[in-house]
Structure 1
Amino acid sequence: MKAVYSTASLAAISLALASPSYAQNADAEDGDEVSLPDASRSGDFNVIIVTGRAGGSELRKAEASYAITTLSDDALRLTNPASTADTFKQVPGFWVESSGGEGSNNVRSRGIPTDGYSAVALQENSLSVQYDGGLGYLNPDQSFRFDETIARVEAVRGGPASIFAPFAPGGVVNFITRKGTDEPGGRVKYTWGNYNLNRLDGYYGTRLDENWGVFVGGFYRQSDGMRDTGFLAEKGGQIRGTVDYDDGRNSLMLDVKYLDDRVPFYLPVPLTYDADGEITDVPGFDSREDTLAGPDTDDLPIKNVGRPYLFDLTEGSHTQMTQITLNGVLALNDTFALESRNRYRDADILRNAMFPTGNVTELDVFLNGIRPAVLAAFPGATDIRAEYAGGGVPVTDTTNGNGLVVGGNLLSVSVPIEEVITDNRLTAEFEAGGSHSFAVGFTYGHYDYRFDRYMGTTLLDVQGNARRLDVVAVDADGDVVGRATDNGFQRYGSIYDNVGMKVDAIALYAGDEWQVTDALRLDFAARWEQTEFGGQVAEKTTVNLGDPTTLADDQVLTGTGNFIEVDERFDDFAWTVGANYQFAPSMGVFARYTDTFKLPSAGEWNGNPTRTDQRSVPIKMAELGFKYGGDVFNLFATAFFSKFEGVSFTNYRFNPVTNEYDDPEVVVADTETWGMELEALVRPSRFFDLSVQATYQDPQYKGFTYTDQTGAVQDYDGNQLIRVPKLSFRAVPAVNLFDGRLRTELEVEHYTKRYPDIANSQELPAYTLLNLNFRGQVTDSLALGLNVSNLTDELGLTEGNPRAGSFNTGDPNARYFLARPVFGRTVRASVTLDF
């Protein structure tokens, strides 16, 4: 039978561990309840979890046979995440780069060797926001925004995630929204930020009768962005409406959401070293506040075959999306039930950004490097010089205070997508040698998308909101006889893609949670999945647009008018087995082994339709966990292992001489990671608590050897996985005053050194961030909040320059380089009114 605990035992658990909305002081007299915000980042042992499992029975977090973190409404309100990715920072096991802004960030878990959300599923109400999170330039966080309509979050790492969700070997993060039947009442919240942020969130929900409810909510926001872009960088919002029914056995929810929002995508910035060899700012450029993008790289015509392409940088990552979700549970009898989750999404997604590329170079060195080719191209030329585009004002090595130049790719990617996802399962609760919670189901996903990409490469000076430069050839009299660039462009058409894809995916799965005794539960689950995609990818050629006065239009990439057909199919089988043993209601251990896979993404064929290196990647994972809850101490500790076998690693390197990407190098290798995750909470009194999340891991490449373009053999076996630190540590001491009406937290985040390339040739140093969270409940309805991120204005680097290649970024001793730092000190203050 399922574990049954006495009323007295459950009362003791509640007393010791605290509920999501209230904590009880262990020193208080019997019956004295103290209202406190949820202090625990580990969550409550007794919360019922729905993510990472097939069964329909109730399962406490304390009884789970896999690592799961729950973030309650109170925890989310207090930390007030600035982006979807920021919520991941409260979960051990994840390495999160949220330095890209509100969308298009990178998430890795337990040694995942791929970027973005290609191996971590982002879910909303237990259904993927996007079936394949690894589609090129189409991260699922572009179609999702965190706001006050989110009630709680459940995050699963590894384990059963890949059995019950597609493209999720690294985990599933499930954002669960509010409903009218659960959340009667309303909220209005205004947030101000020191980057000209003005944001309004709100919702209202109510019951129509005992079983029916309605809910509406959303947000609208404007700001200049967390870096100084020189224009209004963030503008837009979303609204959702929900109708739901719940009679305790049957339920139905119709949720309609519309999103129209644009946010900037922040890229690496120039950096240098001081006299002590420490990384520091380039003179005249604030790496914490500035960005190279700005008004001078906005609203520019990029010449193309036919009419020019008008590049609008203010569009940023612009998503216009309608999403309709219909979920329901139908109880057939006391044993069987049908569950169905269905989603339709129609989105137009545009990504415009300025990608710094090449090397940060002194102006004189750059001019000397191109002088012979430019003089040879224009007879009569005796020298070259630099000037600001559009005005002809000469530029020297002292003009902007640092004498540096850098390339800048003005890239525009349009990815409209129409998608349907349906997940249906039959669940059963029955007795047979114990209690079983069984499910069998299938998932189907269909999506059509286009991928249109065009780019021009500019030459920029190095300053906040960099300016375009022209290089002109002059004769002995100083008269211009030709131009290496045109309006600041070194090359028009440096990238071109025209792709149309259609994908059909189907998965069959089954799972059983078998409560053998009151203390022991065994879990079994398996999944078979197939993905099939086909489409057309334009053949490319280079053309000369015919302007003899400039070199910028001599090698424009465009389509030939012919298309290459793509027709691929992949399938694989996965299984997992887990066991959980409860020594007591508040203490237990679990173990799990998972043999799973990652299927190729259709996006891998966007720029290379004839590639043959892709296949299903076998993945082996194991974990062993311990959980304990006491009156002053909670602990979740999980040891884990992961191995990815035969992963294709592709080296995309933008060549600053030709201003196009070199032919990519491909290496097939393994990765292997051992590690430990820790979540702990110490609550010695009602006035103070300390929560800790930590991950230590040793992520390595295995068998990574290849012959590079120079003919040299490179051996990177045993090197550390790129970008991932060995130690991620987050400690949050907190003070609760005035019977819990005022709570102040100091977040301490520490990350050890990382590397931006597989060669581990360049080090991204360790760094520590301090963040402050404050929430004061002025009245039962009115609350004030304050969030200060990067309190000490620390310079912390999250990634290097991917355009320099992922295998080896080049000269690790270069005086100047590109990398993407965390944001500087930001302040957000909020006022919340509940009614």
Structure 2
Amino acid sequence: MRILFLSTSLFALAGAAHAAPAPAQTSDQSAEIKPLDETQDIVVTGRVGATDLRKVEASYAITTIDDAKLRISNPISAAEAFKQVPGFWVESSGGEGSNNVRSRGIPTDGFSSVALQENGLSVQYDGGLGYLNADQSFRFDETIARVEAVRGGPASIFAPNAPGGLVNFISRRGTDNPGGMVKYSWGDYDLARVDAYYGTRIADNWGVFVGGFYRRDHGLRDTGYRASDGGQIRATIDYDDGRNRFMLDVKHLDDKVPFYLPVPLTFDGKGKIIEVPGFDALHGTLAGPENAHVAIRNVGGPFDFDLTEGSHTKMTQVALESRFEMADGFGWENRTHYRDSKILRNALFPTGNVTALGDYLASLNGALAAFPGATGLRAQYATDGAPFTASANGNGLVVGGNLLSVSVPMDELITDQRFTAEFEAAGKHSFAIGGTYGYYNYRFDRYMGTALLEIADQARRLDVVAVNAAGAVVGRVTDNGFLSYGSLYDNVGMKVNAYALYAGDEWQITPKLRLDFAGRYERNDISGMVARKTTVNLGDPTTLADDKVNTGTGQFDLVDRSFDHWGWTVGANYQFTPDAGLFARYTDTFKLPSAGDYNGNPTRTDQSPIPIKMAEIGAKYSASWLNLYATGFYTKFKGVRFTDNVFDTKTNTYTQRFATADTVAYGVELEALIRPVKYFDLGLQLTWQDPQYKGFTYTELVNGKPTIRDFDGKQLIRVPKLAIRAVPAINLFKGRLRTELEIERYSERFPDIANSQVLPRYTNLNLNIRGEVTKFLTLTANITNLTNKIELTEGNPRAGSFVSGDAGARYFLARPNFGRTVRVSAAVKF
């Protein structure tokens, strides 16, 4: 009923606006709701030339997302915006930060191979730094005007850590004369959010801009406390006289958001994945008020764990962008930013296997020997001692839960300087030579306690106590619900100096033929200290929970590593007509090791640059009624180091194993926008690919015997072979009311390299409605997961990414998309 009411209200308001005389619209206002048109999109990302280049003329695969698309889809995160890019597989079920994105079968998670940029400069030099994804340092809001996404090709030449591509969020500025806007958003998960901005020219060539947001809510999964709280503000002054431009941008972010993790699931009699009784798989979470504030015992005193902090980012960034024309055709470009940030990540990670209470207690029988007189074990709630039985919550199930806190304060400077030249020599050249310098230093402090939890929404901690024949308690396996205090500990300080030199040329040989060349050399110097670790007994003889607490020895291992490599790309574009062309490109590039690889392994010697080879060929057509971009691609990563972090429930610690293998992917991307009539259009993004591991073998001990595991030819984890996103849309009342249905279809995926567990195919439906009620007032409604179905995006990495420990189990952990949610916003322009 609520959805029907919201939709009906928007149609009624749009009808009222239609009945009144249509007000005159500025170009900015009409661009928001008019039928989409990409024929004149000018691209600035992934290239060296300073002259205008239309999307249809590019020699690489690029997707543009303009203001109209962003405003109606209203993405809640940067990752959500990525879903409009073919070739990208995006997991946005983690919330507003720390999501995963992969492009064209790249074998690494997070943002380690896809660069997130803001105004042409990386948000973070290493976007996949351990526990610090680039999207934790960035928030999408109304100050962003448009997005450009490059897949493969030249991305790795002009940005660090970008072999899979780069996504550039371009902000508004005062010289664009954006005017002002205030927008209020409401959501059925207690969302209240205000976005606002104002920009204007203060002189012929000078502009000022200020904008930001403030938001709070209880979470897309109900945590029982305020899960998201905070906002962002930015102020910009810019100058643009057509030849020279300058922008100074200051941004402050103070925002905390939850990180959503896998939930318990099971199967029905027909093998269909369903909820576990007593747990809401679509809106529930194990995180809740009982674990919001917990004192975790530690060496020297308790550790104050605050789950309500979630992923809390405090960051101040100062950015400078400029271009100066030194003479006709010759210019100097600068992009620089400095950030001071403190990022805290607190979350409850379910771990191990979901187990029936009786089976779990039986697995602990060996603990009875630690308590003289003990004859059995009993479970009870940690906070009040009430019994926990085999029928509790309608399921009688338990699971381990890691209460993990990671603090990563970081200072970072990135500067990119580029000299550009345009000249004639057997055709027209747009040439650039430049360099990038990145410096960042960070701390990595990690502490964790492992608890025992019931399977229930907003789960409570459980204690296991040893009892004698009379039922009296004679000892405790756990303490305040904790199986192990200090089950993980790290104390790291790292520093990185990164240097890159690059050059490129766009050579327009004839009016129809253009060749593009570019190369990059990069070197990273990594240094730092990593604390050595030991285990200590905190000395409580009545419990086993404090017997093996990880802590530092006071000694440190030094890290001093340097890596360098160079890469190049060449592309050709032939333009049959201004609106149709073909391109081909070959790229030989690399990915350098990350400083984060040494956070827990300072003495490892298996790290080296990863060579990457990519090829693509594409056809393009752009007209008033049809935009069509089709690209075939091939990608090969050679000698990738894979790490399997498995949580051992017997020792309550992580174990690691490593393997080295290649990956190969080939496929086809299709991007189209069809506008047969002004009332209707259809957007389509399709990706078919075959991503495989090559030479993935390793040996492990099974029952004391070495056993070879061979996963050659297995499908890359998490990545679907087929991904389709179709968006049919209706435009009514002269374009003042637009309704879109997003249809997303994904084929089956696997959470482990052995492909032993299946993440089923699914179809997701979202509805977007946007209506211009008056010249100044616009209403928008976004309804996600219309069918309210369970749609799994990832499994449980802590059960094993080589071979899943959940494979074949009756109960398992996985992370679904969020259940149906409704957001409504009202925006007033002035």
Work out whether the TM-score is over 0.5: yes
Which of 459, 471, 486 lines up with 2:464 in the alignment? 471
- C-alpha change, 1:614 and 1:819, in structure 2 (3 Å) is same
Q: Does residue 489 of structure 2 align to residue 496 of structure 1?
A: yes
Does the CA contact (< 8 Å) of 1:35 and 1:739 recur in 2?
no
What letter is aligned with 1:312? Answer: D
Instruction: State the shift of 1:666 in Å.
Output: 0.9
Which residue of structure 1 aligns with residue 319 of structure 2?
325
Partner deviation per Cα, 1:775-811 (whole Å, 9 max, x = no partner)? 0001111100000000110211011000011100125
C-alpha distance in 1, partners of 2:170/2:673?
Answer: 24
1:62 is paired with a residue whose SS is helix
Which residue of structure 2 aligns with residue 19 of structure 1?
none
Which residue of structure 1 aligns with residue 7 of structure 2?
none
Instruction: Describe how 1:239-388 pairs up with structure 2 within 5 A.
Output: 239-371=233-365, 373-388=366-381
What letter is aligned with 1:764? Answer: L
C-alpha distance in 2, partners of 1:39/1:105?
Answer: 32
C-alpha distance in 2, partners of 1:411/1:524?
Answer: 47
Which residue of structure 1 aligns with residue 422 of structure 2?
429
Q: Does residue 691 of structure 2 align to residue 699 of structure 1?
A: yes
Which residue of structure 2 aligns with residue 763 of structure 1?
758
Structure 1 gaps, min length 5: 1-32
What letter is aligned with 1:713? Answer: I
2:368 is paired with a residue whose SS is helix
What letter is aligned with 1:690? Answer: L
C-alpha distance in 2, partners of 1:709/1:317?
Answer: 38
Q: Does residue 769 of structure 2 align to residue 777 of structure 1?
A: no
- C-alpha change, 1:94 and 1:40, in structure 2 (3 Å) is farther
Partner deviation per Cα, 1:61-97 (whole Å, 9 max, x = no partner)? 1110000000000110010001110000000000000
Which residue of structure 2 aligns with residue 3 of structure 1?
none
C-alpha distance in 1, partners of 2:464/2:232?
Answer: 45
* Count of residue correspondences: 800
Does the CA contact (< 8 Å) of 1:330 and 1:337 recur in 2?
yes
Which residue of structure 2 aligns with residue 801 of structure 1?
796
What letter is aligned with 1:626? Answer: A
C-alpha distance in 1, partners of 2:150/2:255?
Answer: 28
What letter is aligned with 1:269? Answer: V
Does the CA contact (< 8 Å) of 2:31 and 2:68 recur in 1?
no
Instruction: State the shift of 1:183 in Å.
Output: 2.9
Does the CA contact (< 8 Å) of 1:36 and 1:739 recur in 2?
no
2:156 is paired with a residue whose SS is helix
Which residue of structure 2 aligns with residue 708 of structure 1?
700
The two structures have a TM-score, normalised by structure 1, of 0.95
Instruction: State the shift of 1:216 in Å.
Output: 0.1
Instruction: State the shift of 1:35 in Å.
Output: 5.2
What letter is aligned with 1:107? Answer: V
Which residue of structure 2 aligns with residue 171 of structure 1?
165
What letter is aligned with 1:289? Answer: H
- C-alpha change, 1:89 and 1:327, in structure 2 (3 Å) is same
What letter is aligned with 2:424? Answer: E
Which residue of structure 2 aligns with residue 640 of structure 1?
633
Instruction: Describe how 1:524-543 pairs up with structure 2 within 5 A.
Output: 524-543=517-536
What letter is aligned with 2:62? Answer: I
Partner deviation per Cα, 1:488-545 (whole Å, 9 max, x = no partner)? 0000000000000000000000000000010011000000000001000000000000
What letter is aligned with 1:673? Answer: A
Which residue of structure 2 aligns with residue 578 of structure 1?
571
Which of 230, 234, 246 lines up with 2:228 in the alignment? 234
2:758 is paired with a residue whose SS is coil
Instruction: State the shift of 1:613 in Å.
Output: 1.0
Partner deviation per Cα, 1:606-648 (whole Å, 9 max, x = no partner)? 0010111111000000000001123422200000000000000
Instruction: State the shift of 1:707 in Å.
Output: 0.7
Does the CA contact (< 8 Å) of 2:731 and 2:739 recur in 1?
yes
What letter is aligned with 1:686? Answer: K
1:324 is paired with a residue whose SS is strand
Which of 658, 661, 665 lines up with 2:657 in the alignment? 665
Q: Does residue 183 of structure 2 align to residue 192 of structure 1?
A: no
Which of 666, 672, 685 lines up with 2:677 in the alignment? 685
C-alpha distance in 1, partners of 2:375/2:762?
Answer: 50
Which residue of structure 2 aligns with residue 221 of structure 1?
215
What letter is aligned with 2:358? Answer: D
What letter is aligned with 2:569? Answer: T
Does the CA contact (< 8 Å) of 1:39 and 1:75 recur in 2?
no
2:173 is paired with a residue whose SS is coil
Instruction: State the shift of 1:374 in Å.
Output: 1.8
Which residue of structure 2 aligns with residue 24 of structure 1?
none
C-alpha distance in 2, partners of 1:495/1:369?
Answer: 23
Instruction: Describe how 1:782-793 pairs up with structure 2 within 5 A.
Output: 782-793=777-788
Structure 2 gaps, min length 5: 1-26
C-alpha distance in 1, partners of 2:337/2:73?
Answer: 30
Which residue of structure 1 aligns with residue 618 of structure 2?
625
C-alpha distance in 2, partners of 1:631/1:438?
Answer: 32
Which residue of structure 2 aligns with residue 721 of structure 1?
716
Partner deviation per Cα, 1:113-166 (whole Å, 9 max, x = no partner)? 000000000000000000001110000111100000000000000000000000
Instruction: State the shift of 1:168 in Å.
Output: 0.2
1:415 is paired with a residue whose SS is strand
Partner deviation per Cα, 1:245-285 (whole Å, 9 max, x = no partner)? 00100111000000000000000000000000110000011
Does the CA contact (< 8 Å) of 1:520 and 1:579 recur in 2?
yes
C-alpha distance in 1, partners of 2:328/2:618?
Answer: 34
- C-alpha change, 1:36 and 1:212, in structure 2 (3 Å) is closer
Q: Does residue 411 of structure 2 align to residue 418 of structure 1?
A: yes
Which of 561, 564, 572 lines up with 2:557 in the alignment? 564
Which of 136, 141, 151 lines up with 2:135 in the alignment? 141
Instruction: State the shift of 1:36 in Å.
Output: 6.6
Instruction: State the shift of 1:813 in Å.
Output: 1.4
Instruction: State the shift of 1:37 in Å.
Output: 4.7
Does the CA contact (< 8 Å) of 2:173 and 2:236 recur in 1?
yes
C-alpha distance in 1, partners of 2:142/2:524?
Answer: 35
Instruction: State the shift of 1:335 in Å.
Output: 2.3
Does the CA contact (< 8 Å) of 1:539 and 1:560 recur in 2?
yes
C-alpha distance in 2, partners of 1:90/1:300?
Answer: 41
1:441 is paired with a residue whose SS is strand
2:185 is paired with a residue whose SS is strand
Does the CA contact (< 8 Å) of 2:693 and 2:713 recur in 1?
yes
Instruction: Describe how 1:91-110 pairs up with structure 2 within 5 A.
Output: 91-110=85-104
Stretches (4+) displaced over 6 A: 38-41
2:701 is paired with a residue whose SS is coil
Q: Does residue 805 of structure 2 align to residue 810 of structure 1?
A: yes
Instruction: State the shift of 1:184 in Å.
Output: 3.6
2:738 is paired with a residue whose SS is strand
Does the CA contact (< 8 Å) of 2:39 and 2:624 recur in 1?
no
Partner deviation per Cα, 1:706-740 (whole Å, 9 max, x = no partner)? 11232211110000000000011000000000000
C-alpha distance in 1, partners of 2:74/2:806?
Answer: 40
